[in-house]
Structure 1
Amino acid sequence: MNFYTFTEHNLRHFTENVFLKMGCPPADAQLAADVLLRSDLRGIDSHGVARLSGYVRLWKKERINATPDIKIVHETATTATVDGDRGLGLVVAPFAMKIAIEKARTYGSGWVAVKNSNHFGIAGYHALMAVAEDMVGISMTNASPLVAPTYSSERLLGTNPMCYAFPAGKYPPVVVDMATAAAANGKLEIAQRANLPIPEGWAQDASGNASTNPHQLKEGGSLLPLGSDKDHGSHKGYGLSATVDILSAVLSGANYGPWVPPFVSFLEPPNDPVGEGIGHFFGAMRIDGFRPAQDFKDHLDNWIARFKSAKTIDPGKQVIIPGEPEYNYEAERKKNGIPLIDAVVNDLNELARKLAIAQLS
């Protein structure tokens, strides 16, 4: 396995060209590229440019509308439901979060459910939009049905990520951005490209037996909820995943559970949908709706400092604040470039050939 390093500028230009070839308006192509590049910059390699061919594949199948008419279809003073018109989730999600932020500016909080959308990248991108406005940001989405509930071998839920983001003062924001499965499917894809086994506790085979095979999902197996198995708290991950599915889809009118149209290539959408597209859910809450924003940030700084100084089992290690590794990755990769493994580079250059655009160099 070899790594190649690319500048943020080169990857951004390449990614924008892919979305332009799909027929996206320039502003949408730039926004979609920004969401994917933010993932790579933050070290979440499973959700960055490595996903590009997946978006193109869905566009060719006419499951993604490159020029959607995104609109509010139901609204109150503090809530709204948005119809994404099958648009790129990378574009639909920021549209919806902006609505939540605007409502929060006026009323203290804003809540937006989304239907008829697609894969929206990393949840953290959208939650951090609220942090920039001195608000708490909340972002979540349902996803391809790859996860079996506790005690089941049937795939009924997605990895269903959720993110909570909080503005700090002298420290970076606290960003809790995680899948509600033991691992995101993208991590299995990374293991596949590297030809490496996955840790036990991530997946099970079709009979419910533990598996370290990174290709297990293509062979009828399933991912496990956060907590791994029934003896290690998987019911908690199952409960969190169910919460994301209900808020994102049952609330909005999107597909839920096993009816969610998949992003992965080895699954086809069910022919008996119960809603429209996939669903998201966003929230924004003004800090000063609870206490002065600077007071909150000063105390969150104190919270962070105390946790960073916690006594550790290994004297050479320090407690990690949620979002800290991603912040450090972003600083380093903006300076030194973004590494991609050869399998991803080859995939992107093959995509460029098919779309007749310039390859990565």
Structure 2
Amino acid sequence: MLISEQALRQFTYNIFLAIGCSEAHAHLSADVLLRSDMRGIDSHGVARLSGYVRLWEKGRINPKPNIRIVHQTPTTATVDGDAGLGLVVAPFAMQVAIGMAKTYGSGWVSVRNSNHFGIAGYHALMAVEQDMIGFAMTNASPLVAPTFSNERMLGTNPMCYAFPAGKYPPMVVDMATSAAANGKLEIAQRKGAPVPEGWLQDAQGNYTTDPHALKTGGSLLPLGSDREHGSHKGFGLSATVDILSAVLSGANYGPWVPPFVAFLDPPADPVGQGIGHFLGAMRVDGFRPVQDFKDSLDNWISRFKSAQTIDPEQKVIIPGEPELEAELDRRMNGIPLVDAVVKDLNELAVRFGVEGISPA
């Protein structure tokens, strides 16, 4: 089913209002989720809406948080999200980072006591709008086993770097540090399809293509899948995200990160508060004139786009291009939602007494 952006945005806003969010936070939360759907990252858009509602029902999300800075130097800060939606906590923290960068050239903020923050790209792109380079990362529910292990110790722990360009759109490197994001498993589950080999292992540590393997003790694999293909590098990247996001801020880290799914309780022996994020902004003109940088990045992009390919029918894809293409298409034609997501959303509509969704 295709749903118009505006209709889905209004629906999402209504649901966030219904769970007690302020108008400003409902607007912002809806914007973060819709940006994900518009950019073709269906795993982190409105398909996650019912998950936030379930966490709210469990008392694990505070719809009216007192988000505040609890530690600060001129260029660094720690933010406590007061168990709020990461969809509003992370933008608050990025605005703090941008404010410091405007004065001092860069700003770095570690966040504790937050929740799932949507796509990392949303937050990193906030800095790009100010002619800055943006950084955003977060730790997440422990679903990933480190190299040589079959114990879930880390999240998919995404990281994003966003760079302002000139004639080209911003270059956005937004990726999980696991072989695949958990949301892609959820998409496969809804479609009843297997996942590629190398994404998952079962409880015994054997490769599996069953998208439900996590429910039977399996785990996601780090980026690289196994030691011979560089999984130690994915493990190292994921560990870096976990340390910057949580060990630095005082959030829960590693296997103590509370799960996103509401039917699983957080660990009984937490080592911190909520989940953690890490956000940063650097002024381009702290290094060279902005236009000079943009011209050089345009030249970089042009040269890579023209790189000789093995198959003449293929082309080198610049990070961020697929998401931009999806956004242009969906703005014109609507956002595709699978039946399972439509059913899920309309059940929320009935429950909260708001208008349901229908085809564009």
TM range (shorter): over 0.9
DSSP-derived class of the 2:8 partner: helix
Q: Deviations over 1:180-220 (max 9, x none)?
A: 00000000000000000000000000110000000000111
Q: Letter of the 1:116 partner, please give it.
A: N
Shift of 1:351: 1.5
DSSP-derived class of the 1:56 partner: helix
Q: How does 1:113-132 map to 2 (within 5 A)?
A: 113-132=110-129
From 62, 67, 90, the counterpart of 2:87: 90
Q: Letter of the 1:99 partner, please give it.
A: V
Q: Deviations over 1:284-332 (max 9, x none)?
A: 0000000000000000000000000000011011100000110111111
Shift of 1:266: 5.1
Q: Is the 2:144–2:152 Cα contact (8 Å) retained in structure 1?
A: yes
Q: Deviations over 1:67-118 (max 9, x none)?
A: 0000000000000000000000000000000000000000000000000000
Provide the C-alpha distance between the structure 2 equivalents of 1:27 and 1:37, rounded to a whole number of angstroms. 15
Determine the structure 2 residue equivalent to 1:316: 313
Q: Is the 1:141–1:248 Cα contact (8 Å) retained in structure 2?
A: yes
Provide the C-alpha distance between the structure 1 equivalents of 2:86 and 2:136, rounded to a whole number of angstroms. 12
Q: Letter of the 1:90 partner, please give it.
A: L
Shift of 1:33: 0.1
Provide the C-alpha distance between the structure 2 equivalents of 1:285 and 1:250, rounded to a whole number of angstroms. 22
Q: Letter of the 2:246 partner, please give it.
A: A
Determine the structure 2 residue equivalent to 1:237: 234
Q: Is the 2:58–2:262 Cα contact (8 Å) retained in structure 1?
A: no
Determine the structure 2 residue equivalent to 1:338: 335
Provide the C-alpha distance between the structure 2 equivalents of 1:149 and 1:122, rounded to a whole number of angstroms. 23
Determine the structure 2 residue equivalent to 1:144: 141
Asked if 1:44 corresponds to 2:45, the answer is no
Provide the C-alpha distance between the structure 1 equivalents of 2:154 and 2:296, rounded to a whole number of angstroms. 37
Q: Deviations over 1:147-193 (max 9, x none)?
A: 00000000000000000000000001110000000000000000000
Q: Letter of the 2:29 partner, please give it.
A: A
Shift of 1:356: 1.9
Determine the structure 2 residue equivalent to 1:163: 160
Q: Is the 2:137–2:245 Cα contact (8 Å) retained in structure 1?
A: yes
Shift of 1:264: 2.5
Shift of 1:265: 4.1
Determine the structure 2 residue equivalent to 1:106: 103
Shift of 1:267: 3.1
Q: Which runs of 4+ in 1 moved over 3 A?
A: none
Provide the C-alpha distance between the structure 1 equivalents of 2:2 and 2:332, rounded to a whole number of angstroms. 12
Identity of aligned residues (%): 76
Determine the structure 2 residue equivalent to 1:351: 348
Provide the C-alpha distance between the structure 2 equivalents of 1:197 and 1:266, rounded to a whole number of angstroms. 24
Asked if 1:183 corresponds to 2:180, the answer is yes
Shift of 1:31: 0.1
DSSP-derived class of the 2:337 partner: strand
Provide the C-alpha distance between the structure 1 equivalents of 2:43 and 2:67, rounded to a whole number of angstroms. 27
Q: How does 1:61-76 map to 2 (within 5 A)?
A: 61-76=58-73
The CA RMSD over aligned residues, in Å, is 0.6
Q: Is the 2:55–2:261 Cα contact (8 Å) retained in structure 1?
A: no
DSSP-derived class of the 1:81 partner: strand
Shift of 1:268: 2.2
Q: How does 1:270-349 map to 2 (within 5 A)?
A: 270-349=267-346
